[in-house]
Structure 1
Amino acid sequence: MSGAPLVTAAPAAPAEAGTVDGWVRWPDDVARRYVAEGYWEGGPLGDRLRAWAERSGSATAVVAGPPSRPVRLSYADLDRAVDDLAVGLDRLGLAPGERVLVQLPNRVEFVTLLFALLRLGAIPVLALPAHRRVEIEHLARLAGAVAYAIPDTHEGFDHRTLAQEIVAAVPSVRHVLVAGEAGRFTGIDAVAAAGADARAAAAPTSVPSTSVPSTSVPSTPVLPAPDPAGVAVLLISGGTTGKPKLIPRTHWDYAYNAAASAGLCGLTAEDVCLAALPAAHNFPLACPGILGALGVGATVVLAPSPSPEIVFELLARERVTVTALVPALARILVDAAEWEKPDTSSLRLLQVGGARLDAELARRIPAVLGPRVQQVFGMAEGLLNYTRQDEDAELSFTTQGRPLAPADEIRIVDRDGADVAPGEIGELWTRGPYTVRGYYRAAEHNATAFSPDGFYRTGDLVRLTASGNLVVEGRIKDVINRGGENVSATELEEHLLAHPAIAQAAVVAAADEQVGESVRAVVVLTPGAGLTLKVIKAYLRGRGLARFMLPDLLTVVDTLPLTPVGKIDKRELRRRLG
């Protein structure tokens, strides 16, 4: 690598169990057990990339950009780019422990910035490209973000305009980092260039043996090493109850999450892994995703769009072997492939998660595209379930897999919290070495989302089969899974009720062959008012809602059914709607 190597100091001793800055740690005895059993080991994630670069060197780590102009970084290139950016961010004034809201699509800057922040010890908060002002402002406030990283534009939307609104609304945001044309803000490339200059200035210089070394020679940049037991990244919850929550994943637990997933999926340095879904999602990031692929020396290909045209081109050109999709996208690709006959001969494993995959579509995938199907049922909060490649293929069509880790604990309980009989349906509770013990800065919500003994109450209704695999039967939470994106009915209802023409509102799911569940808004209008779906969508966009939050259907009714205590009876409403 050119320039002075970026040095990290030894990490401080891990903090004791408890709540630190809104983060709930594992109890001390549990943490010691996970270390002793080998689940938690190694250094922070940013340092692991350096080891991967030493191992894989000139091998291709990342391919990004449009298919017509791909950018290719070797492992050595990636490590050097991360060092440059980490030093540049340090010179900009970012400090360990500070939160940076990252809203970047699948481009190379997502990977370099993620690892630069990890190496610096700052904490990336991974927002989705589809988020808009409502979600971004909420997340920036909740995290106390000091910086906001964006693309200049993405899919026709100018994120710099949104950034101006966020800077004006959230006083803690003092930097906006832009991938592309920065305008009034700071370009990520400029920050990296400043870091490269600083590293070059600090590089050792040859001094004649008869000379006294100059004390003016700059020192090598030194950054403190993050505590591997501390928070590495804040993921975004699906927003199933109100606004999205922040999920604190540590260096140790997230490293296990990715590495164990890579082992289970049989990833090797010969694999080429396509990230077609937004990289900020837990699924394409660490299940095994980007982190798992880089950990074994594989190549990561970032798709700028999940459209069939781009995905098929990348599959053929890069000889992709593994990719992950949500069911809605899997259906689109299978349907398109039946007509287009793309070259998918290199693909050996297609993971499907984010929503339950129906058996009929599951069986079509190997028939049309060729690869083995692996269902993945999990959550950004932790627990991952995979169907195994060495089991009967029918299980990968009809079940959602079994837990990743031997130390994963699951309970299936009734409404009173009592374990149900084997094979019966109940709510899934879980705890383990990569399942969090609480959301970030959400003490009130944590009191109900987690049991007193540390089980996460997932809200998913499941049953356990004789094979030991889980089958997902539904959800307790009031959430609509629209093509893998969770739409909080409660949050959308609040926005609908702010419209002057709406007196009452209920949001429910409607069956949809393409996306699984579409979003139906059922409203009672104020006297004399009229409303169309087009008008309500425009209104909600004006309030800053993400596109996936907008209703697909609008139904106007005279009254909404109520329970005996006066709440909207959604069960009866769904029955009436058919």
Structure 2
Amino acid sequence: MKRAGTVPWPEHEAERYTAAGHWRGRPLGDWMWSWSESYGSRTALVDGATRIGYRELAVRADALAERLVSLGLGDGDNLLVQLPNCWEFVALFLACQRIGVAPVLALMPHREHELEYLAELADVAAIAVPDTCRDFDHQTLAAKIAGTRPRPVPVLVVGDRVEPGHVDLRAALRIEGDAEERRGRLDERAPDAGEVALFLLSGGTTGLPKIIARTHNDYEYNFRRSGEVCGFTAETTYLAVLPLAHNFPLGCPGVLGTLAVGGLAVLSPSPHPRTAFAEIARERVTITSVVPAVAHRWLEHAGDRTYDLTSLELVQVGGSVLPAELARELGPGLGCTLQQVYGMAEGLLNYTRPDDPSQVLRETQGRPISEADEILVVDAEGRPVPDGATGELLTRGPYTPRGYYRAPQHNQRAFTADGWYRTGDLVRWHPSGNLVVEGRLKDLVNRGGEKVSIDEVEDLVRAVPGVADAAALALPDPALGERVGICVIPGDGPRPTLETVHAFFAARGVAAFKTPELLYLVEEFPLTPVGKVDRRTLRERILALAEVSVPAQPKAQPSEAPAPA
């Protein structure tokens, strides 16, 4: 990999993965044209009233790729992408693959705090955003971020309002000139398949999220093998309701796994039951993927006979562990098969198989997709635990990179000297050969599938006026799985409240899903023997406090507000 800051697989491993056929040595942009040649007139994408065929998608992506080149972008550049689920997202992604530009996939809730960090870390050469989304002016923020960069950074905009000096992305997707001649010119620019194709974001346990470099070789295997395991075919109609910036709906198997086999990918702007159910009924969707919080809402609305859901065959659930009761009810409630998914943007993917016994489907989180996936379950000293015992999951494989991008110090902690990725997840092997996720070592909150770093939240809260110290906690929530709670030791100045914390986070431009939703004022934190905050004891105290109407500990007063939008 040419990009400075990336960590390559050892040469002997790369040769092994290539010899086994896992890595096929073709960039994703080349695969795009193979799909076009195989399925040309078939519809590839549905986005509301817009329907895009395979050949049209390839030709439009090429038109955009050449216009990106005219803006000065090329092999080795990075492009910050913050777009909702739309066909332009997919076309831009594929255009980047034609010319060696790697999209850095940001989430729509990210604001100045996160975007400025990503733009600097990846040294982005351009930024792509909608003009507005859910009443937020992304175009203005993108212009502000672009202005912080040491070189001119064009802002690409999807929408009806494109400010002077910015690039109208929809106009840049217009087809002009000879498509075959353009294809030939771009073929000459094709990047090496071992180079970075895209950057995904980590769950983020030590401050702001780390960036994960995924190559053309490893990511093509990621979605191809996922599609094989999940039974994707040309008859598949996949509904993307989760944000495409996430690994799950993008390539597990997701939209890319659907396109690779000639299926139809339907892009939904929202996972809300009314919106998603209407898409399922209209397009006869066969497969979709959701997080447990979305699955819970869908099950609550499954009795609504307004929509015909009989086409639905498989619902993938991942992002966080599916509660046992919901696992039992979901398949029968939606009239389809449940598939549990346990994976990570860092690589390793595990799926239950559709033909697994019902008990295995309900009780486990699946098994690895590849025979080349290596798994160790170890104790605190790094020693393998006995079969069936719980330990930390370590992994290596053909689609699990060997390090985060530009994070050498963090990589020393996150990876062993011989390349094992320390997931921080606690798992055990089930007698079926599947994994069961029992918990985690990492300090994070899994809020409806969005991972929130406890360290990052604490650092921000400590800067709030009137806060002497802060400890963040993952607190249970029946719908989202977990919410962000914060325990605060007041200091000098105004007494901190949830409202002042919210205002501070908003002023700092922090993504709303990271904002604490419960605040407890305490006099001190329980400590471990080595002087660290004893989060387990603190959490137990807070949960006990929450179970009574009058606080058991008068010094700890809870304050609660609605979840951030």
**In which range does the TM-score fall when normalised by the shorter chain?**
over 0.9
Supply the AA of the counterpart residue of 1:54: E
- Between the aligned partners of 1:74 and 1:199, the Cα distance in structure 2 is 18
- Alignment check: 8 A CA contact 1:53 1:75 kept: yes
**CA deviation vs aligned residue, 1:312-337 (integer Å, no higher than 9, x gap):** 10010010000000001110111122
Shift of 1:435: 0.5
Q: 1:554 aligns with which of 495, 502, 519?
A: 519
Supply the AA of the counterpart residue of 2:494: A
Match of 1:21 in 2: 4
TM-score (norm 2): 0.93
- Alignment check: 8 A CA contact 1:353 1:377 kept: yes
Query: Is 1:154 equivalent to 2:119 in the alignment?
Result: no
Query: Which secondary structure does the structure 1 equivalent of 2:238 belong to?
Result: strand
Supply the AA of the counterpart residue of 1:567: K
- Between the aligned partners of 2:101 and 2:209, the Cα distance in structure 1 is 21
Shift of 1:343: 1.6
Query: Which secondary structure does the structure 2 equivalent of 1:554 belong to?
Result: strand
Q: 1:94 aligns with which of 73, 98, 105?
A: 73
Shift of 1:350: 0.2
Query: Is 1:575 equivalent to 2:540 in the alignment?
Result: yes
Q: 1:47 aligns with which of 18, 21, 30?
A: 30
Query: Is 1:59 equivalent to 2:24 in the alignment?
Result: no
Supply the AA of the counterpart residue of 1:52: W
Supply the AA of the counterpart residue of 2:74: A
Supply the AA of the counterpart residue of 1:337: A
Aligned residues: 541
- Between the aligned partners of 1:338 and 1:535, the Cα distance in structure 2 is 41
Shift of 1:367: 1.5
Shift of 1:560: 1.7
- Between the aligned partners of 2:186 and 2:177, the Cα distance in structure 1 is 8
Give the aligned CA root-mean-square deviation in angstroms.
1.7
Match of 2:163 in 1: 183
Query: Is 1:458 equivalent to 2:438 in the alignment?
Result: no
1:267-286 paired onto structure 2 within 5 Å: 267-286=232-251
5+ residue gaps, structure 2: 544-565
Match of 2:263 in 1: 298
Match of 2:106 in 1: 127
**CA deviation vs aligned residue, 1:381-412 (integer Å, no higher than 9, x gap):** 10000001111021111100000000100000
Q: 1:371 aligns with which of 325, 336, 346?
A: 336
- Between the aligned partners of 1:222 and 1:83, the Cα distance in structure 2 is 10
**CA deviation vs aligned residue, 1:45-92 (integer Å, no higher than 9, x gap):** 011010101100111100013xxxx11001011111111111111111
- Between the aligned partners of 2:319 and 2:227, the Cα distance in structure 1 is 18
- Between the aligned partners of 1:431 and 1:202, the Cα distance in structure 2 is 42
Match of 2:297 in 1: 332
Match of 1:38 in 2: 21
Match of 1:8 in 2: none
Q: 2:449 aligns with which of 484, 509, 516?
A: 484
1:368-407 paired onto structure 2 within 5 Å: 368-407=333-372
- Alignment check: 8 A CA contact 2:116 2:145 kept: yes
- Between the aligned partners of 1:222 and 1:40, the Cα distance in structure 2 is 20
- Alignment check: 8 A CA contact 1:146 1:175 kept: yes
Shift of 1:255: 0.4
Shift of 1:172: 4.3
Q: 1:139 aligns with which of 118, 121, 134?
A: 118
Match of 2:53 in 1: 74
Shift of 1:148: 0.6
- Between the aligned partners of 2:369 and 2:207, the Cα distance in structure 1 is 29
5+ residue gaps, structure 1: 1-14, 205-218
- Between the aligned partners of 2:280 and 2:172, the Cα distance in structure 1 is 33
- Alignment check: 8 A CA contact 1:145 1:173 kept: no
Query: Which secondary structure does the structure 2 equivalent of 1:141 belong to?
Result: helix
- Alignment check: 8 A CA contact 2:82 2:128 kept: yes
Query: Is 1:475 equivalent to 2:455 in the alignment?
Result: no
Shift of 1:342: 3.1
Shift of 1:189: 2.1
TM-score (norm 1): 0.91
- Alignment check: 8 A CA contact 1:148 1:173 kept: no
- Between the aligned partners of 2:152 and 2:285, the Cα distance in structure 1 is 39
**CA deviation vs aligned residue, 1:268-297 (integer Å, no higher than 9, x gap):** 111110000000100000000011000000
Supply the AA of the counterpart residue of 1:145: V
- Between the aligned partners of 1:239 and 1:340, the Cα distance in structure 2 is 40
Shift of 1:413: 0.4
Supply the AA of the counterpart residue of 1:187: D
Supply the AA of the counterpart residue of 1:429: L
- Alignment check: 8 A CA contact 1:238 1:487 kept: yes
Supply the AA of the counterpart residue of 1:304: P
Supply the AA of the counterpart residue of 2:7: V
Identity of aligned residues (%): 50
- Alignment check: 8 A CA contact 1:358 1:397 kept: no
Q: 2:150 aligns with which of 171, 176, 180?
A: 171
- Between the aligned partners of 1:452 and 1:477, the Cα distance in structure 2 is 20
CA gap of 1:567–1:232, structure 2 versus 1, over 3 A, is same
CA gap of 1:124–1:20, structure 2 versus 1, over 3 A, is closer
Shift of 1:174: 1.2
Shift of 1:93: 1.1
Q: 2:401 aligns with which of 432, 436, 446?
A: 436
- Alignment check: 8 A CA contact 2:227 2:252 kept: yes
CA gap of 1:220–1:416, structure 2 versus 1, over 3 A, is closer
CA gap of 1:422–1:222, structure 2 versus 1, over 3 A, is closer
Query: Which secondary structure does the structure 1 equivalent of 2:372 belong to?
Result: coil
Shift of 1:524: 1.2
Query: Which secondary structure does the structure 2 equivalent of 1:368 belong to?
Result: helix
Query: Which secondary structure does the structure 2 equivalent of 1:148 belong to?
Result: strand
- Alignment check: 8 A CA contact 1:54 1:76 kept: yes
Query: Which secondary structure does the structure 2 equivalent of 1:536 belong to?
Result: helix
Shift of 1:126: 0.7
- Between the aligned partners of 1:426 and 1:340, the Cα distance in structure 2 is 45
CA gap of 1:201–1:128, structure 2 versus 1, over 3 A, is same
